[in-house]
Chains A and B, each alone.
Chain A
């Protein structure tokens, strides 16, 4: 009996301590309720934080609506089903499972609860009638960062730390390659993937390897990129271009991150709320690009004078303008990039 008690305590204690979540506002009957499910945390300076920030920004911008927002962190796909069902039971109107890994869960729940709207991404698939998907066309942000890296490199060796070669990370990385090649065709681009979105140590090891092989400009995507940025900060000469604006505010980002782009999920969330209130519960993919305000881009004010020449800034502005004018055609060939030819 004593053994069983000890065993039960050992197994149950972590679940009691680590179940985390939060709610931004109190419940109300005429409230529009949004729930967010993420695999990491809402302050990870990357993937999960960008969606959380987008939702809170959207709520602030839709001040006339009464919106309740709750989130659940550290939800592995196998665990997310129970929390998602709790949200359904509590009457949530929109459940966003932020990550392609939640696809099966979302499709299963959408069939079970046809009156609730679900969303997951990144994915360009058109889901069932009550499932939205969203797909950042992040080859655009990658291209902008590639222009900066290709222009500012002096060694003509550039490092790219990728998580896995799929989804928006694959689009960002290939857009980055195209951006570098557009201004510096001779540059050597070292591309390596860690096989994980959140292995900060491995990302730092990959970056250290690339720095050791002469890279003086680096970039990376997903939340683990912070690890690569931290490794870059160890180099006296190497610089970084980021894929999340939060990187600009870190200590190493202030010193090393020339510029960063980010997803503006507020635009997506506002569109989702508007569509759901109009009676459309899903069946659409919402793209994110510079044209629809899905991306934002900014410089590091402290580094801009030294690393962004007026010519470079003009080139970046022109490129963003071209994306806004023709969001479908500018980088239509991003998928053709073959890393083995770099």
Chain B
């Protein structure tokens, strides 16, 4: 039984990384007052570009690790570009954010699939990045498997959590982001450039969403297909609400969701007499239940979330 528990927990960290990266990125978007439902599309583009570079370099065979690094960098840059594009639509043109987000999602998923067909063809895999066993620490019984035997991106993603917290709550830029997401008119009167700050947050959020997609294609599934993201971008948006726009709580939500996911897999594999349809639903039901019973959302949500800012119009 201990082996089963160890196996289950050891999967939580690597399998939660894509959700964690995308959620932290979405958190920056929403903290700045922009609701980006297009996360799924940006992840798809990141997954495609991230996989494309090592694939073209090695045609599916082994390649230098630098090509994987290049894949992650390209995915982040493309994600940032998508963030910029979303900013153009929602900040400059002040289009309804929900509709624009759906458009971005469709654009990203469709473009990734189409370009994939053109440049790669059918479903293809790559060697991807390997797990790293941290010397000594990985040998510790139980803890070694759970915490110290994962790929490098998993460690970096979890290091990002305190970094994001520091940036958001302890830096001037983080203060500006929170200000434009809470009361953009007051921020504007204090000399903060609301549009610019929102653009910057969207670029950061887009880059992280691109990285999240690349993590799926380079580090986790090590392949790309049209349906690789399969709704994880929307789960990431839900996790931001789940985590009350706070990096540490978002991390908790990503881990809880992934734990529920691996738990239901174990329940099925153990042959426990339980309808698999309900087991598959478990993580999603969990998110909905927690969201439903959390009243703090009313207090912690950025009050200007989803509202375009026009300094010429007094509201």
Contact = CB atoms under 8 A, between A and B. Distances in A.
A214 B223 CA distance: 24
Contacts of B125: 226, 230, 233, 250-252
DSSP majority for the A interface?
helix
Interface stretch (A36-44, A79-87, A265-273): A36-44
A205 B114 contact: no
A229 to B, nearest CB: 9
B60 A251 contact: yes
B225 A44 contact: yes
A18 B273 CA distance: 43
B95 interface: yes
A206 B265 contact: yes
A78 interface: no
Given A41-B122, A191-B269, A195-B277, A14 B103 contact: yes
A204 interface: yes
Contacts of B121: 43
A20 B226 CA distance: 13
Contacts of B95: 3, 6-7, 10
A205 B269 contact: no
Contact of A226 (B104, B111, B123, B268): B123
B69 interface: no
B274 to A, nearest CB: 8
A8 B15 CA distance: 37
B256 interface: no
Contacts, number: 152
Interface in A204-230: 204-206, 208-210, 212-214, 223, 226-227, 230
A20 B100 CA distance: 23
A304 interface: no
Interface stretch (A23-31, A120-128, A276-284, A334-342): A334-342
Nearest to B115: A17
Contact of B123 (A43, A199, A201): A43
A45 B122 contact: yes
Given A7-B100, A49-B122, A340-B271, A251 B7 contact: no
Contacts of A96: none
B280 interface: yes
Interface in A60-98: 74
B193 interface: no
Given A3-B94, A195-B280, A250-B125, A14 B110 contact: yes
B257 to A, nearest CB: 12
Interface string B104-134: 1011001101100100011111000000000
13 contacts: A3-B95, A7-B96, A7-B100, A44-B123, A192-B276, A198-B226, A201-B232, A206-B269, A209-B262, A213-B269, A223-B123, A226-B225, A230-B221
Those 6 A-B pairs whose CB atoms lie nearest each other, nearest first: A43-B122, A10-B103, A195-B280, A212-B7, A18-B110, A340-B273
Interface of B: 3-4, 7-8, 10-11, 15, 60-61, 89, 93-96, 99-100, 103-104, 106-107, 110-111, 113-114, 117, 121-125, 216, 220-223, 225-228, 230, 232, 261-262, 265-266, 268-273, 276-277, 280-281
Interface of A: 2-3, 6-7, 10-11, 13-14, 17-18, 20, 40-41, 43-45, 49, 74, 159, 165, 190-196, 198-202, 204-206, 208-210, 212-214, 223, 226-227, 230, 233-234, 250-252, 339-342
